[in-house]
Amino acid sequence: MVQKTLLLVEDNEDLLEILRLTFETEGFRCFTAADGEEALRLCRRHGPDLMVLDLMLPGLSGLEVCTEIKRDRALSHMPVLMLTAKTEESDVVLGLSLGADDYVTKPARPRELVARVRTLLRRSKPVDPTVTESMISVGGMVIDPVRFEVRAGEDTFQLTPTEFKLLQTLAGSPGRVFRRSQLLDSVMGPTAIVTERNVDTHVKSLRKKLLGFGERIETVRGVGYRFSDTVQA
C-alpha cells in the first residue's frame, strides 16, 4: 500500500506535534507548517495527498491558503480538511465555498480526525477509466462523473468531491426525499464519524455554488432534502 502524505498546518506548536504523532502512528507521512506562507511553500514542493488546515494562522489565514491552493491547477484537487476553533456557521460555509472539503471544530478527537482524513482520501481517488458511471441530466443540469464536472448551458460549477457526491446522490433520484442519515452514508460512508449538521452545512455551500440551480435542492422540514427538476416560474 502506497503511504499517503499529509500537510498539517497549525500555529499551536503543541497541537501540531499531537497531530503529527497521531497521523504518523496511523501510517501517514507528515509535513508540518505553522503559518500560511510555509504551508503554501511545502504544498507546492511536496504535493501532499491531503491538507489539514487551521483557519486561524499568522500572516496568511487558512481561508487565504485554501483560496491559493484551489487556484493552482496542479493542487486544486487536493482535499482540504479545515481545523478550526470557530463555531460560527458563516466561517465554515465560507471555507467550504472556497473549496475546502470538510471541517472539524476544536478540540478534535484524534480518532475522528483520522476517520475524516481516510474518508476524504477514499473519495478523492482518481477516476478509473475502465469503470464507467452514468451521466446524470436533470432539469437542464448535467452531472458528468467521468470528467468530474457539473454544467448547465455555458456555466460550469466547481465543486469539491463531497459536494459533487452529494449532488450526484440527490439529482440521481429527483423527487425522492433523502434523510440526512442516508446522505451521510452515501457521501461520507457508514463508518465516518460525522454529524447530520455536516450535511446541512454542505448543502448550504452547494446551493450557493450552483447559483439559481441551487434552489432545486429543497429542504423537507423535519426529514431531509430532495432535488426537484421542476423549474420555478
What is the per-residue pLDDT across 103-120, written as a single tens digit (0 to 9) for each?
Answer: 888 888 888 899 889 988
Please report, for the chain, the start and end positions of each structural domain, with discontinuous segments joined by +: 5-123, 136-227
- Note the pLDDT tens digit of each residue in 149-177: 898 888 889 888 888 889 999 998 888 88
Helices H, strands E: what count in the chain? 8, 12
Cell of 54: 487551521
User: What pLDDT, on a 0 to 100 scale, did the predictor assign at position 104?
Assistant: 86
Positions of the chain with pLDDT under 50: 127-132, 232-233
User: What pLDDT, on a 0 to 100 scale, did the predictor assign at position 74?
Assistant: 78
CATH T-level assignment (fold) for domain 136-227 = Arc Repressor Mutant, subunit A (1.10.10)
User: What pLDDT, on a 0 to 100 scale, did the predictor assign at position 134?
Assistant: 78
User: What pLDDT, on a 0 to 100 scale, did the predictor assign at position 217?
Assistant: 93
Q: Is the pTM of the predicted complex or chain greater than 0.75?
A: no
Cβ-Cβ contacts under 8 Å for 185 (sequence gap 6 or more): none
What are the distances in angstroms from CA 43 to CA 46, 95, 152, 158, 204? Answer: 6, 18, 33, 21, 28
First to last CA, the chain: 53
156 φ, ψ (degrees, to nearest 5): -120, 130
- 133 in the Ramachandran plot: left (φ > 0), alpha (ψ -120 to 50) or beta? beta
- CATH code for residues 5-123: 3.40.50.2300
User: What pLDDT, on a 0 to 100 scale, did the predictor assign at position 233?
Assistant: 39
User: What pLDDT, on a 0 to 100 scale, did the predictor assign at position 130?
Assistant: 41
Is 136-227 in the same CATH topology as 5-123?
A: no
Cell of 131: 469503470
User: What pLDDT, on a 0 to 100 scale, did the predictor assign at position 135?
Assistant: 85
